Amino acid sequence: MSKYIDELRKGVHKNAAIKTTIREIGIATLLTSVTTAVGFLTLLSSRIPPIRAFGINAAIGVIIAYLTVLGLTTAILSLFNTNQVIKLNNRKAFWEPWMEWFYHFTKNHPKKIFAGIIITLILCFYGMSLVTTNFSIKSNLPKGQKITEDYIYFEKKFGGFRPFEIAVTAQDTFMARDYEVLKEIDKIENHLKKYPAVQSPTSITAAYKSLNRAFNGDKVVAYRFPDNEKDFKKFDKYLNKLPSGPLDVLVSKDEKKARISSSILDVGSDSIKSVGKQIDAWLLNNTRAEIATFRRTGTGVLFDKNEEYVRDSILKGLGIAILIISLLMGFLFRSPKMIIVSLLPNIFPLLIAGALLGYTGIELESGVAIVFAIVFGIAVDDTIHFLSKYKLTRDKGKSIDESLHTTFLETGKAIGLTSVILFFGFLVLLFSINPPSVTVGIIISVTLASAFFSDLFIIPVLIRFFYRKNE
């Protein structure tokens, strides 16, 4: 639309303006659609079906949007006369003075821009060093809502929401309810109580502890595992008379497996992982493997492993997207230098977004990782528009400065409009009571804004730096 209106302002007939727009902008928007689709398709690197489906559907949607604009929008524009679309006058457009300022600033102050890049990179790397992956469920619950209050109450009063379990496997001729195995389980339970985050560990030993207390005048101090095998066998006879149902929850029917069940406070995935490693090390060094083996298990472990896997696989997908788009830009412009020119302004905003996570204390979890992959595909659009117009103008025989000046006035205005629209569109998410939505709004808005300024400041300076001698 921006290019079409510019052509009309030049006095070009509407049909000729549409042809020029399709010829000059059609290829650029095709490339931007492809790169955005690539950004979404990198989600296929995940093995999580909903994430893969999202990537495929979004990529298809981007291509459909391109075909719709190319076909339907141009057809509709041909139905309107020039005076129905714009009012021709000699007044400068709102964006022209700003684009003139950007052009002259990049031309006259390249050293200031390079210094600004270096300072910003230092701040970015420091901010990224503060990024944490210590994801907690509480940080993603809606603020001020009853569900969040209930969750916090459950954490405080009922020992935590997240399960923490240890699987017990009896070895050789031992059974899970043998005295030797249960002594090992009791030893582990007592050790787990030393970790503040681990709450209320329990197992089949609780039944023997209860009987021991009952046979000792219901004294609280008697709630412990029997000190000798004689008492144990006495209590075991009573338990054998009970229905098997309640015990099946803690011991398998073949009595070769058992479990220690507990919960762990929502102290963050990294903190929980650290506690788990400490317990694993203690189990390895302080239990008798010839009697029984012990390992952490349960939905809590699956949740943390899945979260870590999704995050890492998406970040790897982002790396693949950067590689693919680099090859695409190199092929399009037939120059290795242009790969640097095109990539630096788009990696720069990702670094800023990463630093933002560190400075604000937002955890890097799978949802945030998905946003990074998507945003890169969107942010690279402005760069392709800018460089495509620059290349088209250079192919007409204009100098570097003339080409950059034309690119600023025409394409600079267009990417400014789209950046403003997208920026405020995503900024609306800041009003959400849902923290993940707020995070998405912040990251995408900041990334798109920084991508816009990176393109207008960095690309012209790099082009002059790499290609001035060749002119």
The reported pLDDT for the residue numbered 87 is: 67
Same domain as 53, residue 19: yes
Which residues, at least 6 apart from 146, have a Cβ–Cβ distance to it below 8 Å? Answer: none
Q: pLDDT 10s per residue in the chain (471 long)? A: 878 887 887 888 888 888 888 887 887 788 888 878 887 887 787 777 888 898 899 999 999 999 998 888 888 888 888 777 776 555 556 678 888 899 999 999 999 999 998 999 999 999 988 888 888 888 888 877 888 888 888 888 887 778 889 999 999 899 988 999 999 999 999 999 999 889 888 888 888 898 889 988 888 888 989 888 888 888 888 888 776 656 677 888 888 999 999 988 888 888 888 898 999 999 999 999 899 999 998 888 887 787 777 777 777 777 777 777 777 777 777 777 878 888 888 888 888 888 988 898 888 877 777 777 777 777 778 888 888 888 888 888 888 889 999 888 888 888 888 888 888 888 888 888 888 888 888 888 888 888 889 889 999 998 888 877 555
Same domain as 29, residue 122: yes
Tokens coding 176? 């899970």
pLDDT tens digits, residue range 307-350? 777 777 777 777 777 777 777 777 777 777 878 888 888 888 88
Are 187 and 288 within 8 A, CB to CB? no
Domain that holds residue 257: 151-298
Final residue belonging to a domain, choices 264, 298, 332: 298
Q: Which of 102, 104, 41 is nearest to 452 (CA)?
A: 102
CA distance 386 to 407: 7
CATH number at residue 449: 1.20.1640.10
Final residue belonging to a domain, choices 298, 328, 351: 298
Question: Does the residue 119 lie in any domain?
Answer: yes
Q: Which of 127, 105, 267, 145 is nearest to 199 (CA)?
A: 267
Q: What is the DSSP string of 92-120?
A: PPTHHHHHHHHHHHHHH-HHHHHHHHHHH
Question: Residue 141 has what DSSP assignment?
Answer: S
Q: What is the pTM assigned to this prediction?
A: 0.73
Question: Does the residue 205 lie in any domain?
Answer: yes
Same domain as 463, residue 439: yes
Domain count, the chain: 2
Same domain as 284, residue 170: yes
CA distance 246 to 238: 14
Tokens coding 160? 């935590």
Over the range 292-326, which residues count as b (16 or more CB within 10 Å of their CB) and which as e? bebebbbebbebbeebbebbebbbebbeebbebbb
Paired with 264 in beta bridges are: 162, 198
Same domain as 316, residue 432: yes
Are 415 and 346 within 8 A, CB to CB? no
Same domain as 323, residue 212: no
Are 287 and 190 within 8 A, CB to CB? no
Same domain as 458, residue 309: yes
Question: Does the residue 141 lie in any domain?
Answer: no
Final residue belonging to a domain, choices 245, 269, 298: 298
